[in-house]
Amino acid sequence: MGKIQMTTPLVEMDGDEMTRILWKMIKDELLLPYIDLKTEYYDLGLEHRNETDDKVTTESAEATLKYGVAVKCATITPNAARMTEYNLKEMWKSPNGTIRAILDGTVFRTPIVVKGIEPCVKNWEKPITLARHAYGDVYKNVEIKVPGAGKAELVFTAEDGTEIRETIHNFTDAGIIQGVHNTNKSITSFAKSCFNYALDTKQDLWFATKDTISKKYDHTFKDIFQQIYEDEYKEKFEAAGIEYFYTLIDDAVARIMKAKGGFIWACKNYDGDVMSDMVSSAFGSLAMMTSVLVSPSGVFEYEAAHGTVQRHYYKHLKGEETSTNSVATIFAWTGALRKRGELDNIPELMAFADKLEKATIQTIESGKMTKDLALITSLKDVTVLNSQNFIKAIAETMETL
Ligand code: NAP
Ligand code: MG
């Protein structure tokens, strides 16, 4: 049998540490034997970002706008320790932040549910999909370390020169201030992608902010969602038998714990970052969560929701065995390949993506898994595999399907 042919390249964004090791194994064992893989390769590994003054990150996002579908490996967001470790010229910004600022849109994260890994919240019967706004707020902030006494002000200067001015605080001593923003345009596209995704997947949509405390900032999110819902989606939701529901973020958190799942929870950027880690961990493992950025211009970027698994990488460097879960990274590839197949009308590519996902799930359900899952599974007779052998086991399951 010949390999599956592709017509348009995927934008391939390579990354760092343990996930970079998994990236190559996945390509070698699970993709290249079956697909004549066409990608436009961007190396977002920290060393190459540093060499290119981070231009490679921007270029990869621009390529995504051009081709429409990207697949991204986890990347290091540098901090002080990484500055020394990698001898960086600058503390480069979070690649995800840079990419999301260019693509805009919403990140949808859904747990990958397998038999034998039950969520630790007993009443969660169905997956909870997190919709994270991917633009602005603290991810595009400006901060100042206030050195001493003085007045901090928030000033907006309109194009005609008129000013709006508010006092933030009269400092009597050192402190800190932070300026964050969002745009009505981005909030609108966030709202629309959430409503569309809810209709597509026939699930209720929950949205929550802290509008009681943030009476202008968060309240604007609430108002824009409500307006768009009433103007464009109310009837469609009613026809589909689904609900849009707004509540305070603290109330949402309390209700989520009592809910059965099977809905979408829309969150502002920071809430989505934190809550998706909580939801994915509660469903089993950070490595069992898919993540896709859907931009208002209709481009898609698929990735794993977890980081570069640094602790495992250091073990790997010391020559020790690792048992790192590659499921989320595999699903990033299958998501991207399926979407490419859909857009280019290549049914074999879509079928391949389905098959690889099925093989991955079957492998785990047959008792072969990585250590993170073995620790929490209710299955008996489990075989714990190392990083490489887990991927090889999936390749073997592929042959049986
Ligand atoms: P992490 O890489 O998500 O790992 C945190 C811990 O979660 C690991 O130490 C491991 O626990 C467990 N874990 C996560 N993924 C796993 C997997 N695939 N298989 C098995 N266990 C897994 O987060 P981090 O250690 O806080 O961050 C490391 C680097 O990743 C940082 O430089 C950060 O900037 C970056 N990061 C990138 C992204 C992204 O690119 N999307 C997202 C988050 C963080 P045990 O050690 O207990 O086994
Ligand atoms: Mg996070």
Q: Check whether residue 48 and residue 165 sit in a common domain.
A: no
Other C-beta atoms lying within 10 Å of the C-beta of residue 113: 17
Q: Which amino acid is at 82?
A: R
Other C-beta atoms lying within 10 Å of the C-beta of residue 298: 9
Structure tokens at 172: 């009597």
**Ligand 1: which of 302, 309, 364, 375 to mutate, most ligand atoms within 8 Å of CB?**
309
Q: Check whether residue 17 and residue 104 sit in a common domain.
A: yes
Q: Check whether residue 13 and residue 40 sit in a common domain.
A: yes
308 lines ligand 1 (CB under 6 A): yes
Q: Check whether residue 88 and residue 203 sit in a common domain.
A: no
From the centroid of its chain, how far is CA 204? 20
Would you state the pLDDT for residue 294?
86
Q: Check whether residue 129 and residue 270 sit in a common domain.
A: yes
294 occurs within a structural domain: no
Q: What is the DSSP string of 171-186?
A: ESS-EEEEE----HHH
19 lines ligand 1 (CB under 6 A): no
Please tell me the distance from the alpha carbon of residue 190 to that of residue 252, in angstroms, as a whole number: 19
Structure tokens at 310: 């640094």
Instruction: Give tens-digit pLDDT for 331-356.
Output: 999 999 999 999 999 999 999 999 99
Structure tokens at 120: 């630790």
Q: Check whether residue 307 and residue 359 sit in a common domain.
A: yes
How much distance in Å is there from the Cα of 314 to the middle of ligand 1?
12
Would you state the pLDDT for residue 280?
81
Q: What is the DSSP string of 111-167?
A: E---TT---SSTT--S--EEEEE-SSGGGG-EEEEE-SSEEEEEEEE-TTS-EEEEE
Q: Check whether residue 263 and residue 126 sit in a common domain.
A: yes
Would you state the pLDDT for residue 1?
67
Please tell me the distance from the alpha carbon of residue 4 to that of residue 6, in angstroms, as a whole number: 7
CB-facing half-sphere around the CA of 235: CA atoms within 13 A: 2
For the chain, list residues with pLDDT below 50: none
290 occurs within a structural domain: no
Q: Looking at the 3D structure of the chain, how many domains does it have? A: 3
Q: Check whether residue 158 and residue 242 sit in a common domain.
A: no
Please tell me the distance from the alpha carbon of residue 219 to that of residue 225, in angstroms, as a whole number: 10
Is the CB of residue 72 less than 8 Å from the CB of residue 15? yes
Q: Check whether residue 304 and residue 274 sit in a common domain.
A: no
246 occurs within a structural domain: yes
- Identify the DSSP state of 110: E
* Count of residues making up the chain: 401
288 occurs within a structural domain: no
293 occurs within a structural domain: no
Domain end call among 236, 251, 283: 283
222 occurs within a structural domain: yes
On the 0-12 / 13-18 / 19+ scale of CB atoms within 10 A, 372 is: buried
How much distance in Å is there from the Cα of 378 to the middle of ligand 2?
27
Q: Whose CA is nearest to atom 6 of ligand 1?
A: 309
Domain end call among 283, 307, 338: 283
Q: What is the DSSP string of 52-68?
A: TTTHHHHHHHHHHHHHS
The CA-atom distances, in angstroms, between 397 and each of 142, 169, 363 are 50, 62, 7
307 lines ligand 1 (CB under 6 A): yes
On the 0-12 / 13-18 / 19+ scale of CB atoms within 10 A, 279 is: buried
Would you state the pLDDT for residue 181?
97
Q: Check whether residue 195 and residue 254 sit in a common domain.
A: yes
Q: Check whether residue 6 and residue 111 sit in a common domain.
A: yes
Domain end call among 283, 313, 332: 283
Q: Residue 246 forms beta bridges with which residues?
A: 207
Please tell me the distance from the alpha carbon of residue 362 to that of residue 401, in angstroms, as a whole number: 10
Q: What is the DSSP string of 325-339?
A: --HHHHHHHHHHHHH
Q: Check whether residue 247 and residue 217 sit in a common domain.
A: yes
Is the CB of residue 109 less than 8 Å from the CB of residue 132? yes
**Ligand 1: which of 60, 301, 308 to mutate, most ligand atoms within 8 Å of CB?**
308
Please tell me the distance from the alpha carbon of residue 44 to that of residue 26, in angstroms, as a whole number: 17
Q: Whose CA is nearest to atom 40 of ligand 1?
A: 74
Q: Residue 165 forms beta bridges with which residues?
A: 155
Read off the CATH number of the domain in which 95 is found. Answer: 3.40.718.10
Q: Which domain holds residue 29?
A: 1-117+299-401
175 occurs within a structural domain: yes
Would you state the pLDDT for residue 278?
87
Q: pTM of the predicted model, to two decimals?
A: 0.85
